[in-house]
Amino acid sequence: ETALRAALANPDGAGLHLHYQPQVRADDGHVVGLEALLRWHHPQLGPLSPAEVVRVAEEAGIVDRLDHWVLQHSLAQWTQWCAQAPALLQDVRLALNVSAQELVHGTLLERVRTALATHGLGADVLEIEITESVLMQAGGDAIEQLHALQRLGVSVSLDDFGTGYSSLSYLKRLPIATLKIDRSFVDGIPHDADSVAIVRATLSMAHDLGLAVVAEGVETVAQRGFLRAHGCTVLQGWLFARAMPPDALLAWLRTQR
């Protein structure tokens, strides 16, 4: 906790950094998104998983500062990439994971608006990923904030879909454009009958509700084939690319055009 507070106070992040994982269109492999994923190389403990870092930040009550760091840092990176290779980021969105606290405190909307203005970026570059559990914790005001974000032009996705408790009627009322099917279900394609049933049902329901679907953790050609055949629009996973540091990501993007 002490080291994390110090890292967040340090302008260069003191070991905190972001990797970016591409999201590609299912039909032609065209890059449509980059998900920022937190990494922390702790001065004594070495590399820590984002789940651990987020948990420590939550316990310390500073996860909103962590989210803010991610927002500022990723938008600064985005601006730098745009200057280096503007054509590569055309029609690509930056996807950020957001924890509950900023929604609970009602600060997310204003922070996003301010950060976009500071970096001179339009709202349509951003996609906010929230989990079902985050929404449950945050309640009605959170949903109003998400509506406002969408009015601004920010896209909202429901992450880890299938692992929480979303009812269908609840889904319909939420201001979300996209469902992200959790990796644990994609893992079971095509051999595990339950995973196959869940993924098919999710895709069919999303289609009827007018939602886009991103499948995460796509590792095999068979999974890609199944997801395409059942109308999944966007794919993310090691079959296409791992999460990469900024320089490697830029080099990878150049190989895609």
Of the candidate residues 73, 82, 174, 219, the single one contacting ligand G (CB under 6 A): 219
Q: Does 77 bind ligand G (CB under 6 A)?
A: no
Residue 132 in the binding site for Na ion (CB under 5 A): no
Which residue's CB is nearer to ligand G, number 224 or number 230? Answer: 224
Using only the alpha carbons of the chain, give its radius of gyration: 18
Four-CA torsion 70, 76, 79, 84, nearest 10 degrees = -110
Tell me if 1 sits within 8 A of 95, measured CB to CB: no
Tokens 């999944």 appear where? 232
Member of 62, 159, 178, 211 binding Na ion (CB under 5 A)? 159
CA 203 to each of CA 176, 196, 224: distance values in angstroms, whole numbers, following the listed order: 15, 11, 14
By CB under 6 A, tell whether 22 contacts ligand G. no
> Shortest distance, CB of residue 238 to Na ion, whole angstroms?
14
Question: Is residue 182 within the footprint of Mn ion (CB under 5 A)?
Answer: no
Shortest spacing between CB 180 and Na ion, in angstroms:
6
Among 3, 8, 14, 50, binds ligand G (CB under 6 A): 50
Q: What tokens does 200 get?
A: 């098919």
Residue 106 CA, chain-centre distance (Å), reads 20
Amino acid at 40: W
Asked if 8 is part of the footprint of ligand G (rule: CB under 6 A), the reply reads: no
Question: Among residue numbers 72 through 131, which ones bind Mn ion (CB under 5 A)?
Answer: 97, 129
Indicate if the alpha-carbon torsion angle 19, 214, 109, 166 is positive or negative.
negative
Which residues bind to ligand G, rule: CB under 6 A?
21, 37-38, 49-51, 54, 67, 70, 97, 99, 159-160, 183, 216-219, 237-238, 243
Which residues bind to Na ion, rule: CB under 5 A?
159-160
